[in-house]
Structure 1
Amino acid sequence: MASSRDRQRKLARAKLDRQLARRAARAKRRRQIQAGIGAAVVLALIVLGSAWALGAFDSKPEPKAAEDVCLWTPQDAGANTNLKDVGTPPTTGLPTSGTRTMTLTTNQGAPITAELDLTSAPCAGASISHLAGKSFYDNTKCHEITAEGALRCGDPSGTGFGGPAYTFSNEDVPDAPEASPSASPAPEQPPAYPKGTVAMIGSPPGANGSQFLIFLKDFNPETPAYSIVGKVTGGLDVVEKIGALETVDNGNGAKVKPKTDVVIQSLTVGEPNAAPAASPSAG
């Protein structure tokens, strides 16, 4: 029969084994937890590294400013009393394709309509539209029938030196025609300014404002200088009627002023029209 001391030793041994087993289990759990935390940290570092490489932590770029379409050069309306300050058109967000319809109502008959080309002359189109919105042209006179065969309008002062308090540069000036052996444009070439062309005229040349020409006949100069903005689409017979008016001295020795006043009662410009889609090629 086992002694009391042997039983005590066995109980103590069993107790120690149980303690060691519990310690081992706790240690195993700690290792599992640490391994899980380590894996999570590694995964987080991989994700953060990938995001950094892709620029997720880069500072967001500032929104790009809209680029200027047109530049309006201020003019001193105080120094030139022929100028009329009605502000300037915007420089950005302007349509650069399609057309706008300009309607010119005069005291000479039915309205004259023209198609303003926003693709080739967006700034001229924007300027005329802005000025029309300010009633700039209303109740002004077309003060000249030029020696080149064009009706000159758009100067409220009627002097040829008037306009808004800004200017802008040429956009669509035709190329000079090829010369024939006689040093004149070859007769088979189309005119630089066909009858019905609407073009800007600046004072000085190239410094456009509000003044424009409507050509009463084909014009083919050796050196084109006027920026084309559009063409007449209706009322060309009214333009021809005006072109046939008698002219008198304009006060500067040039017999170019219509003897009968040609008054623009109103000039309006419609909303932009989308450019027509290109037709499919024949095949």
Structure 2
Amino acid sequence: MSNNETRRREAMQQLERELSARDRKEKSKPLAIVAASLAIILAIVGGIWFANSRTTDETVDAAASSTTASEDADTIAPVLDGKRTTPLPDTVTCAYNQNERPAKDVGLPPTENVSATGTVDITLDTSAGKIPLTLDRAAAPCTVNAITYLASKDYYDDVVCHRLTTSGIKVLQCGDPSGTGAGGPGFTFADEYPVDVVDDQLVTYPRGSVAMANAGPSTNGSQFFLNYGDSPLPPNYTYFGTIADEGLTTLDAIAAKGTADGQSDGAPAEEVKIANVEVAN
């Protein structure tokens, strides 16, 4: 049995124990609260993983996460908004660590005097339609710097979005030239908002937000996920921008077609390929 299957089985057993113990208490709550609690737990138990520049896929610790979800189930996971309590300096220094064979080699982004103010507009021109994004330097300057650098080097051209999820979390994951979910640019960099400001708890990556996929702490590379629905997750994924209405319309159409195998997590039923990424400013 694979590690993912073992984690999922253990998590489901833990979930059953927790739900049994909570059953009497749950029945006295408003139905909406019970449904929200269960949805949060199931979203984490589902074996959520985000692969980055590693040869194996990484999985959120489902058993531990289900316990956290149980503890937090009486409250709604706070919604991320990209706002820092204490702003960063106007410019920052970033570190990009070259450490693995790239799926597509385009070198390293610049590291000095990286802007931490304002936004950058980019558009993913995909086979399913355009997905305009606004990237937030104030929230995640080193992430925005890396993404725009990769786009300027045509790194994302002809790259498929290899993963769609339709239950629990609702995301389209893109950014791996190998199309496997295990490829990256050959460098990694540190986590930013909310990882560096939010305590370990469930948060909501809201519909219309963009965040980095990773294979563990500070393993960001080139993969990112587009939230076409609210996604409750631990605050382990760098939030770095928002999706325009036109992009959400495109994503809704992609999601409506489901996955290729009809499951809730897999390749999109109809291939979604990024032709190019336009950087406006």
User: Which TM-score band applies after superposition, normalised by the shorter structure?
Assistant: 0.5 to 0.7
Q: Kindly indicate whether residue 179 of structure 2 is the aligned counterpart of residue 158 of structure 1.
A: yes
CA shift for structure 1 position 153: 0.3
Q: Which residue of 2 aligns with 1:212?
A: 224
**CA–CA distance in 1 between the matches of 2:205 and 2:199?**
11
Identify if the C-alpha distance between structure 1 residues 176 and 192 changes in structure 2 by more than 3 Å, giving closer, same or farther: farther
Normalising by structure 2, report the TM-score.
Answer: 0.61
Alignment of 1:260-275 (within 5 A): 260-271=270-281
State the identity %: 37
Normalising by structure 1, report the TM-score.
Answer: 0.61
Q: Tell me which of 130, 133, 152 is aligned to 2:152.
A: 133
Q: Deviations over 1:33-72 (max 9, x none)?
A: xxxxxxxxxxxxxxxxxxxxxxxxxxxxxxxxxx961010
After TM superposition, which residue ranges in structure 1, 4 or more long, deviate above 4 angstroms? none
- How many residues align? The count is 186
CA shift for structure 1 position 154: 0.5
Q: Deviations over 1:8-32 (max 9, x none)?
A: xxxxxxxxxxxxxxxxxxxxxxxxx
Indicate the structure (1 or 2) with the bigger Cα radius of gyration.
1
**CA–CA distance in 2 between the matches of 1:238 and 1:265?**
15
**1:158 alignment partner AA:** G
CA shift for structure 1 position 139: 0.7
Q: Which residue of 1 aligns with 2:119?
A: 99
Check the 8 A contact 2:212/2:225 in 1, yes or no. Answer: yes
Check the 8 A contact 1:114/1:234 in 2, yes or no. Answer: no
CA shift for structure 1 position 157: 0.5
Check the 8 A contact 2:127/2:273 in 1, yes or no. Answer: yes
SS for the counterpart of 2:146 is helix
Identify if the C-alpha distance between structure 1 residues 136 and 247 changes in structure 2 by more than 3 Å, giving closer, same or farther: same
Q: Which residue of 2 aligns with 1:196?
A: 208
**CA–CA distance in 2 between the matches of 1:102 and 1:237?**
16
CA shift for structure 1 position 208: 0.5
Q: Kindly indicate whether residue 189 of structure 2 is the aligned counterpart of residue 168 of structure 1.
A: yes
**2:254 alignment partner AA:** I
**2:278 alignment partner AA:** T
Q: Which residue of 2 aligns with 1:231?
A: 242
Unpaired runs of 5+ residues, structure 2, are 1-90
**CA–CA distance in 2 between the matches of 1:156 and 1:259?**
19
- Superposition RMSD in Å: 2.3
Q: Deviations over 1:75-101 (max 9, x none)?
A: 221xxxx63221111110211100000
